[in-house]
Amino acid sequence: MLTDSTTTNGHTDSYAKTEIIKEIDGNSSAINEKEDKEWTPLSWRTKPIRQGVVYDDQEHLQRVLNKLQHLPPMVTPSEIHRLRSQLRQVALNKAFLLQGGDCAELFEYCSQEPIESKLKVLLQMSLVLVWGSRIPVIRIARMAGQYAKPRSSPTEKVEGKEIISFRGDNINGYDPSDRKPDPERLLRAYFHSAATLNYVRSIIGSGFADLYRLSDWSLHHVRSDRTRQEYQTIVDRLTDSLDFMRMIGADSPSSPLNSVDLFMSHEGLLLDYEQCLTRLLPDPETGEKKWYNVGSHFLWVGDRTRQLDEAHVEYFRGIQNPIGIKVGPSMESNELQKLLDIINPNKEIGKVTLITRYGADQVEKYLPGHIQAVKASGHIVVWACDPMHGNTRQSSSGVKTRHFNSIIEELSKVIRIHKNNDSQMNGVHFELTGEAVTECIGGSMQLADADLALNYKTFCDPRLNYEQSLDVAFLIAKYHEKERSGPSL
CA distance 283 to 286: 5
Question: Residue 464 — φ and ψ, nearest 5°?
Answer: -70, 140
Report CA torsion sign: 414, 140, 267, 455.
positive
DSSP 8-state secondary structure symbol assigned to residue 19 = P
Alpha helices, DSSP H only, in 248-297?
271-276
How many CB atoms lie under 10 A from the CB of residue 335? Answer: 15
Q: How far is CA 424 from CA 100, 371, 415, in A?
A: 20, 10, 7
Helix axes 112-133, 466-485, angle to 10 degrees: 10
Q: What is the 3-state secondary structure (H, E, C) of 55-122?
A: CCCHHHHHHHHHHHHCCCCCCCHHHHHHHHHHHHHHHCCCCEEEEEECCCCCHHHCCHHHHHHHHHHH
Residue 431 is labelled as binding a ligand: yes
Residue 357 is labelled as binding a ligand: yes
CA distance 432 to 458: 11
Residue 213 is labelled as binding a ligand: no
Residue 389 is labelled as binding a ligand: yes
Residue from 141, 187, 174, 165 nearest 51 by CA: 165
Residue 103 is labelled as binding a ligand: yes
Residue 142 is labelled as binding a ligand: yes
Contact 286, 320 (CB under 8 A): no
Residue from 196, 193, 216 nearest 114 by CA: 196
Contact 385, 414 (CB under 8 A): yes
Residue 326 is labelled as binding a ligand: yes
- DSSP 3-state of 242: helix
Residue from 37, 56, 43 nearest 310 by CA: 43
Contact 178, 50 (CB under 8 A): no
Residue 244 contacts by C-beta under 8 Å, 6 or more apart in sequence? none
Element (H, E) at 293: strand 289-293
Residue from 295, 361, 353 nearest 327 by CA: 353
CA distance 104 to 117: 16
The binding site for phosphoenolpyruvate comprises 142, 326, 357
The binding site comprises 103, 142, 326, 357, 389, 431, 461
The binding site for Mn(2+) comprises 103, 389, 431, 461
